[in-house]
Amino acid sequence: MPLTEEWVWTPDPDNPELWIYTNRESYSAGDAVTFHGSCSLPPAEGSSSASAVVTITRDSLEPEQVYASEPFDVACHEAPEQCYATGCGWPVCFTLDAIPQGWASGFYIVRCEASAEQGGAVAAVAEHFFVVRPSEPPTRSELLLVLSTNTWTSYNAWGGANAYRGLLPP
């Protein structure tokens, strides 16, 4: 069944949403991580953007928060037509200059919280992830982390389409 235009996301200031993604899915120590985002929160008076912070937690038996950003601005951007196929192309809203050498390899959860003003109540939340690869690939490992990214992408209809329900008309 083909999807209709109603499936395409457009900002709705009455129902604030926050979306964030990184430029890649995996990194090594020393790599910069750029975050792209959009937030439909109405900005504070005199501002054109919402205020957001990012925390990064290494997911493990005992999750450990390894990073918390200073506040940064995230503006509202519409999702372009066919973003499901070509990506959103939103501008960079925040950059982590380098993955620290001390971060262990593994799965990291990114949590972004936005408010209409710096230090205000959290009004929108988004989560994302990335993987940190070992600096030196082991010759043998007893563990393997398999990401189901292609499956998630196939079932995800954000932006108007997915591999199972069809595409929007061109």
Query: pLDDT 10s per residue in the chain (170 long)?
Result: 333 455 455 666 677 889 999 999 999 999 999 999 999 887 767 777 888 999 999 999 999 999 999 999 999 888 887 787 788 899 999 999 999 999 999 999 999 999 877 777 788 899 999 999 988 777 777 777 777 777 777 777 777 677 776 665 55
Q: Do 54 and 111 touch, CB atoms closer than 8 A? A: yes
Q: Do 12 and 40 touch, CB atoms closer than 8 A? A: yes
> What is the pLDDT at residue 54?
97
Could you give the CA distance from residue 113 to residue 126 in angstroms, rounded to a whole number?
Answer: 7
- Distinct helix (H) and strand (E) counts, the chain: 2, 9
State pTM to two decimals.
0.83
> What is the pLDDT at residue 2?
38
